[in-house]
């Protein structure tokens, strides 16, 4: 009627549908752009150190060791460090703590300027750290070899001015065949332990350094600061070979101290009564007095006639109170 044929109507409908599709695409694209502009971004903190719960400690202390009071974790560009604060009963200034530094491919949370040094153990650097940890305490490095399950460690001891025994131990755990190549076993752990205690012995404090267990690791290819596991003992599983637990782990229980013998109680002897002095007359007690006076030996028997004059001839005679026979 209007001069349109069927082909023209069909083409118009197709053009209209294409225009609607383009408008829908434009609306969807605009919505995505707006969503990107208004997306929620978490607030990042500028501090490197933060407090974590004690159960997140990277090491487990031996049974009977000091308790964990708190942990300060620090994220560095090449390491993760924990300062584990331990219980303290001493009067020496400073904190009892174990510092654990794990070097490796950690998550990038800071810039390269916050990189921790990872040098080999040097006694000069250890001495500087020790003076900062226990200032004013004369520390003596032990000449004895000590080793835990991760390798050798060194330690020093000294007495503070408060008579506390102070201990400072150090250890660097690293596989012995590292060559810094792409396929080498990379990774290092640095351990520092500072403890002062008024009642502990040197053996007690060395046991803390010798008995801790590392419970954390980096799940990264090639990270292995421990090296290959040691081979089993030649007698392991062989018939006829006797293998017993280490005596230092399951030692015999010390016998209970013997009970002290009961102290004998002695009754206090009564004080002897004051005997009357010889050569003086007996003066009676005032009326109404209840105190008893022991008679003198001279009053126990009647005096012979004339004895009084002979007895008191050199003394002035004191007359008796009135009314006394």
The verdict on residue 283 lying in a domain is no
CB 123 within 8 A of CB 177: no
Tokens of 30: 């605009």
d(CA 156, CA 166): 8
The verdict on residue 155 lying in a domain is yes
Q: pTM above 0.75?
A: no
The candidate with the shortest Cα–Cα distance to 86, out of 101, 72, 77, 98, is 98
The candidate with the shortest Cα–Cα distance to 222, out of 197, 187, 175, is 187
The candidate with the shortest Cα–Cα distance to 54, out of 10, 98, 7, is 98
pLDDT for residue 2 = 46
The verdict on residue 58 lying in a domain is yes
d(CA 201, CA 221): 42
- Cross-strand pairs, 12: none
Please give the tally of structural domains in the chain.
1
The verdict on residue 279 lying in a domain is no
pLDDT for residue 134 = 96
**How big is the chain by its Cα radius of gyration, in Å?**
47
The verdict on residue 152 lying in a domain is yes
Q: Averaged in consecutive runs of 10 residues, what is the pLDDT profile of the chain (325 residues)?
A: 48 54 72 62 70 95 94 92 96 96 85 84 92 95 94 96 96 74 71 96 96 93 85 87 71 67 72 66 66 51 52 62 61
Q: What is the DSSP string of 270-286?
A: PPPPPPPPTTSPPPPPP
The verdict on residue 191 lying in a domain is yes
> With 0-12 CB in 10 A as exposed, 13-18 as middle and 19+ as buried, what is 178?
middle
CA 197 to each of CA 58, 88, 107, 314: distance values in angstroms, whole numbers, following the listed order:
23, 7, 37, 81
CB 191 within 8 A of CB 208: no
- Give the contacts of 241 (CB within 8 A, at least 6 positions apart): 235
d(CA 70, CA 191): 17
The verdict on residue 55 lying in a domain is yes
The verdict on residue 85 lying in a domain is yes
The candidate with the shortest Cα–Cα distance to 149, out of 68, 229, 64, is 229
Could you list the residue range(s) of the whole structural domain that residue 67 is in?
49-214
């Amino acid at each position: 009627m209007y001069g349109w044929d069927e082909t023209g109507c069909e083409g118009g409908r197709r053009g209209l549908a294409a225009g609607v599709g383009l408008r829908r695409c434009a609306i969807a694209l605009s919505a995505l752009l707006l969503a990107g502009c208004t997306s929620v971004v978490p607030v990042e903190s500028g501090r490197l150190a933060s407090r974590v719960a004690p159960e997140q400690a990277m090491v487990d202390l031996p049974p009977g060791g000091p308790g964990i009071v708190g942990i300060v974790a620090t994220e560095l560009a090449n390491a993760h460090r924990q300062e584990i604060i331990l219980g303290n009963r001493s009067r020496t200034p400073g904190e009892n703590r174990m510092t654990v530094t794990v070097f490796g491919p950690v998550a990038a949370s800071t810039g390269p300027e916050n990189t921790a040094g990872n040098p080999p153990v040097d006694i000069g650097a250890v001495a500087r750290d020790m003076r900062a940890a226990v200032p004013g305490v004369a520390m003596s490095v032990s000449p004895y070899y000590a080793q835990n399950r991760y390798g050798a460690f060194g330690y020093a001891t000294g007495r503070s001015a408060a008579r506390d025994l102070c201990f400072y131990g150090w250890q660097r755990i690293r596989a012995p065949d590292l060559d810094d190549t792409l396929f080498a076993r990379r990774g290092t752990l640095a351990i520092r332990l500072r403890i002062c205690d008024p009642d502990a012995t040197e053996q007690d404090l060395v046991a803390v350094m010798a008995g801790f267990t590392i419970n954390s690791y980096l799940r990264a290819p090639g990270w292995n600061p421990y090296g290959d596991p040691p081979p089993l003992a030649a007698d392991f599983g062989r018939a006829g070979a006797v293998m017993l637990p280490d005596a230092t782990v399951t030692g015999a229980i010390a016998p209970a101290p013997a009970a002290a013998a009961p102290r004998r109680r002695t009754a206090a002897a009564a004080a002897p009564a004051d005997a009357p002095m010889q050569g003086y007359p007996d003066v009676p007690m005032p009326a109404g007095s209840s105190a008893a006076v022991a008679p003198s030996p001279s009053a126990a028997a009647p005096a012979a006639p004339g004895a009084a004059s002979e007895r008191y001839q050199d003394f002035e005679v004191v007359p008796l109170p009135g009314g006394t026979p």
